[in-house]
Structure 1
Amino acid sequence: MKTNQQSVTFNNTYILGISFISALGGYLFGFDFAVIAGALPFLRSAFALNAWWEGFLTGSLALGCIVGCLLAGGLADRYGRKPGLMLAAFIFALSSLGMAFSSGLTVFVIMRFAAGIGVGMASMLSPLYIAEVSPANIRGRNVAINQLTIVIGILVTNLVNYALADNGPEAWRWMFGLGAVPAGLFFLGVIWLPESPRWLLKAGKEAQAKKVLGNIGSEAFVTDTFKDIQQSLQGSVKQSYKAVFEKAVRPAVIVGITLAVFQQLCGINVVFNYTSTIFESVGANLDRQLFETVAIGLVNLIFTVVAMWQVDRLGRRPLMLIGSLGLSVVYIVLAFLLQHQAAPGLVSVFVLLAIAMYATSLAPVTWVLISEIFPNKIRGLASSVAIVSLWTAYFILVFTFPILAEVLGTYGPFYLYAGICLVGFLFVKSKVRETKGQTLEALEQQLIKH
């Protein structure tokens, strides 16, 4: 594959390989994100959950993710991307076993919080690492690989949950315990990964940075990229979180935080996490509820592949605009169907349509933009701030849904989410610029000019 300069070539197999290994962090995200949907019917009985505890148990993952992101930002800038990814895998493996062997609700929530720390670290470091090892012309596709592994994790977990559902009231223990398997594989894979060349240069390890860049592309690519990174790091000093909110970078940080919050408050994760609640409200039995989680996972996977194909062609901004406006319309129809007790099959059509809209737009593109729009000097810290905002919004969403559904009916919150999607559409239209095909350093120069 070649860029505009004919002498610049890339080792696509190597780039794809290290991107997929790093993106296994996304699989852990997908696993813990989806496992709760299949386990909730069992957990409600095992722990006698009311609406408040159901929301808190589900959202406790997000609270751990917030801690994980805060830890990951400092670790990534101090010790590198690779050690952080290894620690995330280790924490996730231990917490998966901890949830499986939980003796009561308190222990389970603590272990789910710990799992969130691992997920939060991986959710920040995996796309950050991929963006820093990928050439500009395929960066969007490669970062979207992280979203692909998330949705594969969701689909595989939903299939496993469906298969385990007939194993009695303790089936939920197997559902959570099996998370130790992908976590172990991820840990072993990260051992093989090279460190990010941008971090190596920032740390003064020029020879190692050149070696990694040489594995990624030709000598011309090494020379050009090395020079661009050095220029972007000139005058660089150790950064604190205060630097993230300096006037020069504030516009990018505001956009990153707003997009992260919007990706969650758009409401789609209610569909992922509370599938059983939604379909139970229109009379579906447990088998049908778990089957719908599998259908959701399959549609999510198919349309994530579509997004990977389009993100470097159509671009980030058009996909975000189409997805946010489309979700707003679909939610209004879905709320109407739930309100009037439509047949589960008809509800399923619009649930899956909402998933398709999200999977081709807000799901992957938000992660791509967060990995792209921040300057090299503060990318680790700024990414952690944006993703902390994302997980805070996720906690608010999943904690409040059971309570809102109890007060307003299951359909009520979807009218609210439709309004949020419309506001998100207007924000993207006015504030988000296209980033496809530009190097991270070129995007940084644009930010400085503005």
Structure 2
Amino acid sequence: MNKILLRCTIAAALGGLLFGYDTVIINGAMLDLVKYFQLSPAIQGWTVSSALVGCILGTLFISKPCDKYGAKLMLQLLAIMFFASSVGCALAMTISVFIAFRFIGGLAIGSASVLCPVYISEISPPKHRGVLAATFQLAIVVGILLSLLSNYFLLNIGNHNWRWMLFSGAVPAIAFFLMLMVIRKSPRWLVKKGLLEEAKKNIEELSSHEIDTEQTIIEIQESIHTERAGKRINVFKKPYRKIIFIGIFVGIFNQLTGIGVVFYYSSQIFSIAGFSNSSSMAQSVILGATNLIFTLIAMAIIDKVGRKKILLFGQMGMVVVLGLFGYGLLTGNIAGYWLVALLVAYIAFFASSQGVVVWVLLSEMFPNIIRARGASIGSFANWVVSASLNFFFPIVIALLGTTQAAQQLGMSYAFIFLAAVTLIGFIYLKKYIIETKGKTLEQIEKEVLF
């Protein structure tokens, strides 16, 4: 693995870091945003979910401009959008302006979630592809932790601390832009554009001349032909309809575990549970650190234990923990730091199962000819559910009143609901997901279609 390949991978992975950083930075800022702009529960939900709506649109519409202009130029545009979003949110004088810039950030996040992993896979030689592809998921988790740490350290700097929290995202955005200036263009994109000599040069430099360049060009051309043929297929007709719907529900049940709610609202969740603002923020950092540790553990064991076993173990663990958290808030029988311990356990179960496995499944479970479209549809379903849950969460917890006791009651019902749908997810995944560990993509294709 040479310096050029590493530099290009790290540059693209910074898009994943910004993905995690910009989505979760709202967590710490929200406590003061609500007071500063006098937000109703509905507007509070829209403030969080506006970025996720941007994500949905970003994933839908980034492919065509990327095909036309290439990943390098489009990623540079995304870096500018990340920077503009951070600065615009930090300087916003009205909630409408704030939401507009958060939406722009969402467009960048959604686009990066598609472009960055695709770019990394396209520049990676086969023997390094698995490790390098994992850097994007790891970068997202690191970005989440860094945003929570940033929130914690900026909490007590004054009345406008939330502005500095949001402005902090401009720093990694600048680093992202500068790193992108020295990356190589994707060989696959160059082949699509007929620039074969430049494609050969990049393949040789990225692989240190360790692979057959001519054979790689032929394989890319065949892959492009397969991809174009796949675009003419109606994926909602037999024999692809069943696996497409399974992919959709894989994406849906991933978000119905409530992971977005916990990471976007953890400071408020802890605050409603009775903790001070500084304690709430510190506990959110613990959640972020737990997420990173158990993501690394999952990445280390996924090929040994198997996707389905890890997924079902984590899913059932989350059912128990979410149910206990809701029960504790409802009855008062579980309180204080036991509630913190339950959420830490919840993050551990999620990160070691759904957090890693769902994206591996979406990249493996579909037949070759529709793989890109199938994964895209599953991801789209994931974003839609995420946006919906995070919009309705503050509305639900305020339904019974705005006192702390009323909000605790509303939040208890929300977590019991999440436990119930996570249990339904366990039953569905146990019935319909096949184990893909140790199988070729061709073997998986035969199992899911026949």
Fold agreement, TM-score > 0.5: yes
Residues 73 and 383 in structure 1, CA contact (< 8 A), matched pair in contact too: no
- 1:335 and 2:326 correspond: yes
Deviation at 1:110, TM superposition (A): 0.7
**What is the letter of the counterpart of residue 104 of structure 1?**
T
Q: Deviations over 1:86-135 (max 9, x none)?
A: 22222111111100110111100111111100011011222233334445
CA–CA distance in structure 1, aligned partners of residues 372 and 26 of structure 2: 29
CA–CA distance in structure 1, aligned partners of residues 192 and 270 of structure 2: 51
- 1:320 and 2:321 correspond: no
Deviation at 1:233, TM superposition (A): 3.7
Per the alignment, residue 422 of structure 2 pairs with: 421
After the TM superposition, which of the residue ranges 401-410 and 179-188 deviates more from structure 2? Answer: 401-410
Deviation at 1:394, TM superposition (A): 0.8
Per the alignment, residue 18 of structure 1 pairs with: 8
Q: TM-score, normalised by structure 2?
A: 0.87
Pick the aligned partner of 2:143 from 130, 145, 153: 153
Q: Deviations over 1:125-148 (max 9, x none)?
A: 222333344456664443332221
Pick the aligned partner of 1:261 from 230, 245, 252: 252
- 1:390 and 2:382 correspond: yes
- Cα 1:203–1:243 change in 2 (3 A) is farther
Per the alignment, residue 89 of structure 1 pairs with: 79
Deviation at 1:336, TM superposition (A): 1.3
Residues 135 and 439 in structure 1, CA contact (< 8 A), matched pair in contact too: no
Identity of aligned residues (%): 38
**What is the letter of the counterpart of residue 394 of structure 1?**
S
CA–CA distance in structure 1, aligned partners of residues 187 and 241 of structure 2: 26
Gaps of 5+ in 2: 400-408
After the TM superposition, which of the residue ranges 189-198 and 264-273 deviates more from structure 2? Answer: 189-198
- Cα 1:327–1:15 change in 2 (3 A) is farther
Residues 239 and 449 in structure 2, CA contact (< 8 A), matched pair in contact too: no
Pick the aligned partner of 1:29 from 14, 19, 42: 19
Residues 21 and 169 in structure 2, CA contact (< 8 A), matched pair in contact too: yes
Residues 131 and 371 in structure 1, CA contact (< 8 A), matched pair in contact too: no
Deviation at 1:424, TM superposition (A): 2.0
Per the alignment, residue 284 of structure 1 pairs with: 275
> Match of 2:157, SS?
coil
Per the alignment, residue 293 of structure 1 pairs with: 284
Deviation at 1:378, TM superposition (A): 5.6
Per the alignment, residue 404 of structure 2 pairs with: none
Deviation at 1:368, TM superposition (A): 2.8
> Match of 2:284, SS?
helix
**What is the letter of the counterpart of residue 102 of structure 1?**
A
Q: Deviations over 1:33-66 (max 9, x none)?
A: 2211100111011010121111111111101111
Per the alignment, residue 296 of structure 2 pairs with: 305
Higher relative CO (Cα under 8 Å, sequence separation at least 6) belongs to 1
Residues 141 and 312 in structure 1, CA contact (< 8 A), matched pair in contact too: no
- Cα 1:90–1:245 change in 2 (3 A) is farther
Residues 76 and 380 in structure 1, CA contact (< 8 A), matched pair in contact too: no
> Match of 1:82, SS?
helix
List aligned pairs for 1:29-428, cutoff 5 A. 29-134=19-124, 139-214=129-204, 215-216=206-207, 219-220=210-211, 222=213, 225-234=216-225, 237=228, 245=236, 247=238, 249-341=240-332, 342-374=334-366, 381-407=373-399, 409-428=410-429
CA–CA distance in structure 2, aligned partners of residues 418 and 222 of structure 1: 51
Deviation at 1:429, TM superposition (A): 2.6
CA–CA distance in structure 2, aligned partners of residues 314 and 200 of structure 1: 38
After the TM superposition, which of the residue ranges 130-139 and 426-435 deviates more from structure 2? Answer: 130-139
CA–CA distance in structure 2, aligned partners of residues 227 and 258 of structure 1: 36
CA–CA distance in structure 2, aligned partners of residues 16 and 323 of structure 1: 32
CA–CA distance in structure 1, aligned partners of residues 215 and 423 of structure 2: 42
After the TM superposition, which of the residue ranges 325-334 and 77-86 deviates more from structure 2? Answer: 77-86
After the TM superposition, which of the residue ranges 123-132 and 55-64 deviates more from structure 2? Answer: 123-132
- Cα 1:448–1:314 change in 2 (3 A) is closer
- Cα 1:245–1:187 change in 2 (3 A) is farther
> Match of 1:261, SS?
helix
Q: Deviations over 1:214-263 (max 9, x none)?
A: 32376556566555444444465487697554645444433332222222
Q: Deviations over 1:168-194 (max 9, x none)?
A: 221111111111111121122233333
Q: TM-score, normalised by structure 1?
A: 0.87
> Match of 1:167, SS?
coil
Residues 271 and 280 in structure 2, CA contact (< 8 A), matched pair in contact too: yes
> Match of 2:305, SS?
coil
Residues 29 and 150 in structure 1, CA contact (< 8 A), matched pair in contact too: yes
Q: Deviations over 1:347-395 (max 9, x none)?
A: 0101000001111121122223334445666655554433332221111
